[in-house]
């Protein structure tokens, strides 16, 4: 039996009743697919999605990871973006860790490294994020100048996080943050052919400078 609402009345009718069939057929298939995606995704989420329209894309990422399938870089970027927009950091970390395991050895996967660092940092795991980024910097072949700049910018921010969170602030952490920040800026300048890139790093430098 199925319940159907119409105006102020509630009808109870068998599944094959014409009214139930008509109501079911009136539902937009896209809305039905979206609702199914949301229901399938719910066990993996922390809180609600900020944009429910992203549910199919995020569910796709979860299913790819579960099936041991590594999406191409363009698809990964779309999936990671949807996860970030919806602040599903722990889910993102799990997905990115799965991608990293599936990435062919000896082939660059720096987009995965970058995303994993972001997900772990925002999930409240700066030490794990830092370890992941430092491991990426050791990998061969090495990243491009631009990619290394981005990874080292993440390192600088993570050292700053650890310095800020420490009960007794360790000056070595702040020194390492500054070193990574300067190295990242120099690499970015090299990637840009010597163009001034200071504006790209102004927020990071301002944060570090505020620590004294």
Domain ranges of the chain: 31-128, 144-211
95-127 residue pLDDT tens: 999 999 999 887 778 999 999 999 999 999 999
pLDDT mean over 185-210: 93
Whether 148 shows a pLDDT value over 90: the answer reads yes
H-assigned helices in 47-170: 55-66, 73-85, 89-102, 110-122, 126-138, 145-165
What pLDDT does residue 2 have?
A: 47
Task: Name the DSSP letter for residue 143.
Answer: P
Q: What is the mean pLDDT of residues 172-193?
A: 96
Q: How far apart, in whole angstroms, are the C-alpha atoms of residue 59 and residue 158?
A: 29
Q: What is the pLDDT of residue 123?
A: 98
- What percent of the chain clears pLDDT 70, i.e. is strictly above it? 86
- Asked if the model's pLDDT at residue 21 lies above 90, the reply is no
Angle between helices 171-191 and 198-210 in degrees, nearest 10? 170
| Residue 175 neighbours by CB under 8 Å, 6+ apart | none
Residues 6+ apart with CB under 8 A from 31: none
Question: Looking up tokens 């299913």, which residue turns up?
Answer: 63
> What confidence tens digit (pLDDT) does each residue in 46-69 have?
999 999 999 999 999 999 999 999
Which pLDDT does position 5 carry in this prediction? 52
């Amino acid at each position: 039996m199925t319940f159907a609402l119409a105006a102020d009345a509630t009808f109870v009718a068998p599944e094959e009743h014409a009214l139930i069939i008509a109501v079911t057929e009136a539902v937009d298939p896209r809305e039905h697919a979206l609702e199914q995606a949301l229901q399938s995704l719910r066990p993996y989420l922390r809180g609600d999605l900020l944009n429910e329209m992203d549910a199919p894309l995020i569910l796709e990422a979860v299913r790819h990871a579960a099936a041991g399938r590594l999406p191409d870089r363009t698809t990964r970027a779309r999936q990671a973006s949807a996860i970030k927009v919806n602040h599903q950091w722990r889910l993102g970390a799990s997905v990115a860790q799965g991608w990293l395991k599936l990435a062919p050895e000896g082939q660059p996967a720096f987009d995965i490294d970058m995303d994993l660092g972001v997900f772990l940092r925002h999930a409240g795991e700066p030490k794990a994020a830092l370890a992941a980024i430092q491991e990426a910097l050791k990998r061969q072949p090495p990243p491009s100048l631009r990619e290394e700049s981005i990874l080292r910018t993440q390192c600088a921010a993570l050292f700053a996080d650890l310095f800020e969170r420490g009960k007794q602030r360790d000056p070595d952490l702040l020194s390492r943050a500054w070193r990574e920040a300067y190295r990242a800026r120099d690499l970015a300048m090299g990637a840009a052919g010597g163009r001034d890139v200071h504006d790209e790093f102004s927020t990071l430098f301002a944060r570090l400078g505020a620590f004294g």
